[in-house]
Amino acid sequence: MATAICFWSLGQPSAFALIFASPDSEPEDERPADFPYWENITQRRYEGPSVIYLGAGWALTARHVGIGEVLLEGESFRPNLRSRHILLNEDGTAADAIVFQLDPDADLPDLPILPLASLAPLPGEEIMLIGFGRRREKVIEWHDEDGSHFGFKWSKGGSKRWGTNRIASGRSWLLQKSWSTRALSFVFDPPYSKNTTRYEAQAATGDSGGAVFVKRDDEWQLVGMMISVSANARTPGSTTSYGDITFAADISSYRSEIVRWARPKCINEEDDDGDGKIDFPLDPGCESPADPDERDTTLIARGTGMLWTAGPLGVLVLGVAIFAFFALFRTRKPS
């Protein structure tokens, strides 16, 4: 996965990806079972970092990744350069997250619209990570005054991977240069730790903009977007070790703004046409979740028909009145 690595104690951003502790802990399946949003997690063109396709023509990624051409089902789509919106915190400061629209004239694939979590995950809640990052290549060992240490060297290239982890803390602040982001964090735990998950994974280079999902009431929800990691400053470059932390933007903190910019009016949770009904399928003006307008076109068409019917009749009545007025004027005698 591609995101910026942030050495938390130093505040220096870099990049990160998904790493597993051993071949035994890597998923055998290419994609998770019963997961309908696999194709929504994609990447920038030319083996770029990760991008989340929100559906209905809009994408979400890390601000440090930036907008660009996005691959969907193997085809590249250009961004609408004027559609870029930086997500903001409540105090108006910028977060490390942006939404942007893909070419509105393009024939985009019919991919589902991602459900956005309205509640942040609780500590201990299991999550799933998906992104385009480096893989674990080999185990390496190094030495310092504290003794011997080992970690996992990254591969040179990345690929789409999925793994699991567990929330350590939610809604903390991650500071990166001039950016501040409400974030979730999770730790790369060693095997047999009480918090270790079946497919324990850590982010690496290429995962920025990658997705974090949680399953609630049998529904997968987008709960985070990976943006940074923290590692021991003594760890060699391009290496992951146990105890490293991944940070992800908390979607619930930016949900209202994502909905504002990147959701069609038929799923923006607002009564846009003032009829007392909100969004698909309750509003009769919404033909689908991707419908950009809540107005009921059948009523508009019916009203237009009435105008066409009333128009000629109104002209006829007005003509008769004018004719009668002038006829009366001509028949009056001078006094």
Query: Which region among 50-54, 127-131, 324-328 has the lowest average model confidence (pLDDT)?
Result: 324-328
pTM: 0.79
pLDDT-above-70 percentage for the chain = 76
Q: Is pLDDT of 321 > 60? A: no
| CB-facing half-sphere around the CA of 208: CA atoms within 13 A | 27
Query: Which region among 34-38, 119-123, 271-275 has the lowest average model confidence (pLDDT)?
Result: 271-275
Angle at 267 between CA 262 and CA 273, to 5 degrees: 105
- Integer Cα distance of 233 and 255 in angstroms: 34
Query: Which region among 75-84, 129-138, 296-305 has the lowest average model confidence (pLDDT)?
Result: 296-305
pLDDT of residue 322: 53
pLDDT of residue 320: 52
Q: Is pLDDT of 48 > 90? A: no
- pLDDT band for 155, please (50, 70, 90 cuts): low
- Tell me which amino acid residue 102 is: L
Q: How many helices (H) and strands (E) does the chain have?
A: 2, 18
Q: What would the DSSP string read from start to end of 157-220?
A: EEEEEEEEEEEEEEEEEEEETTEEEEEEEEE-PPTT-TT--TTBEEEESSBTT-EEEEEETTEE
- Integer Cα distance of 57 and 312 in angstroms: 44
* Residue 285, burial from CB neighbour count under 10 angstroms (0-12, 13-18, 19+): buried
Average per-residue pLDDT in the chain? 81
Q: What would the DSSP string read from start to end of 227-270?
A: EEEE--TTSPTTEE-TT-EEEEEEHHHHHHHHHHHHS-GGGSSS
Q: Tell how far CA 39 is from the center of its chain.
A: 13
Q: What is the largest CA-CA distance in the chain?
A: 125
Cα dist. 197→203, 269, 302, 319 in Å?
15, 35, 59, 83
> Residues 165-223: pLDDT tens digits?
999 988 789 998 889 999 999 999 998 889 999 999 988 878 999 999 999 999 999 99
Q: Is pLDDT of 31 > 70? A: yes
Q: Is pLDDT of 143 > 90? A: no
> Residues 227-280: pLDDT tens digits?
998 877 778 877 788 889 999 999 999 999 999 999 987 777 776 667 777 676
Cβ neighbours for 23, distance < 8 A, ≥ 6 positions apart: none
User: Which region holds residue 268: left if phi is over 0, alpha if psi is between -120 and 50, else beta?
Assistant: alpha
pLDDT of residue 147: 79
